[in-house]
């Protein structure tokens, strides 16, 4: 199986790069290996697998999807995160408002 060069990957597609730049954000594309940019995401997926997926045998894909969706809903609305100053992701996101152009602006 051949690997595509990173420039041809979906995350570096011209449309995505233009959209990210239009939002005034810098796209994170680092070297293979360092995970500092992805630490929060990696911790999330690690806990999802450890606390949910690896502890259950699902009879079918639909049941697994429902179970994971329920966990995600709880994760975003009820579970507090140290990385967000002990707020839920929903509480953290609520401190931003979006301008007509779609730009997020801090409203604290």
Give mean pLDDT in consecutive 10-residue pieces for the chain, a chain of 108 residues: 49 76 77 63 86 92 93 83 83 74 64
Give 97's strand partners. Answer: 105
In angstroms, rounded to a whole number, what is the distance separating the alpha carbons of residues 41 and 5? 24
Output the pLDDT for position 17. Answer: 80
C-alpha 57/C-alpha 40 separation (Å) is 26
Identify the pLDDT of residue 2: 43
Which pLDDT does position 59 carry in this prediction? 95
> Does the pTM of the predicted model rise above 0.75?
no
Residue 91 confidence (pLDDT): 85
At 4 the pLDDT is 43
Q: What is the pLDDT of residue 106?
A: 63
């Amino acid at each position: 199986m051949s690997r595509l060069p990173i420039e041809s990957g979906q995350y570096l597609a011209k449309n995505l790069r233009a959209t990210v730049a239009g939002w005034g954000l810098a796209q994170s594309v680092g070297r293979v290996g360092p995970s500092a940019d992805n630490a929060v995401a990696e911790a999330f997926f690690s806990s999802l697998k450890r606390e949910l997926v690896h502890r259950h045998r699902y009879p079918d894909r639909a049941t697994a999807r429902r179970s994971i969706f329920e966990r995600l809903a709880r994760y975003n609305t009820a579970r507090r995160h140290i990385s967000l100053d002990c707020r839920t992701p929903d509480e953290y996101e609520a401190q931003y408002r979006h301008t007509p152009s779609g730009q997020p602006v801090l409203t604290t």
